[in-house]
Structure 1
């Protein structure tokens, strides 16, 4: 069971997220918090697998909470605001997910599961912008270790991941099964020496494959 602490200053949002998460058989919301201080206390008390944190909260915002707890629990930031600075700060401080509140129930559940399993998930519309900034910060097409070892099909999968596609969307576009996508992703991670799909995408942008 994935244990989750949920923090948002809007009661209706908290209730809505809790209902979505608790419909999943493998997720349990162990605490709901109205502000950052309550969230910090609940995380230290409950030691959840994942903390789902809003950014703009009273007393202590989600980014500040993330900085203090990212070493002990996996943090997914969820917010209405898609400011690039928020994304960069959250990820730099250890968050493993960043979602917009209108991302939908399926992506919310997927982000919690990804975080619990050591993976990372970012709203697709934010992923491309994040990786464009990564690419702009470096050279135009540096040699990235492992990319040359990818098969043509693995490159196809990796390029779609870099464009923010979900596993289901990759499967549909390439006319392959979801299981095959997951197999390819495992092989890609091994060859590139990365831990998750966000890092796969970063390698693709850095290498000029996207």
Structure 2
């Protein structure tokens, strides 16, 4: 199990609260079966908390209470499972096309006893209408122009995409501007999450459709 630094522990305690134990169990899964089954590379083990789990969990500040959330390309549950642990009020659907990843996600959900997350195997395009999603999340799926085509239709005309991005966020927004307008985006912006918690904040692109 990768150790938490003092700063990471303080951040994790604030984000996960009394569910910190569940977050630790999840990191245990990532560090063992997650690596063994190729969901993450072995070099990521020392960075599981800082670079992955905390980096994802802080985006919860962008998501309203009781939101119905689709996590597209959930993979190792980043950010979907992080959000399900941090925010028991949320209802998460983890959308993932690869069977082996879906099996792993379900095993983790069962082991942690999470009752606010379900796994749905398939491509995002096929999940339109699956639920009344108000928020879609994604991390490391594709460039924003392509990601918008995959995610915004899931919102059925009203809601928000919260996409974890890096330093190229503004460049991606500029390139995707035409596609975003065509898909009904009414506002697009960049937000830094975890400013009071993380050494390196998480850059998020927020795209709103509808009013």
Whether TM exceeds 0.5 here: the answer is no
Return the structure number with greater helix share: 1
TM-score of the pair, normalised by structure 1: 0.36
Return the structure number with greater strand share: 2
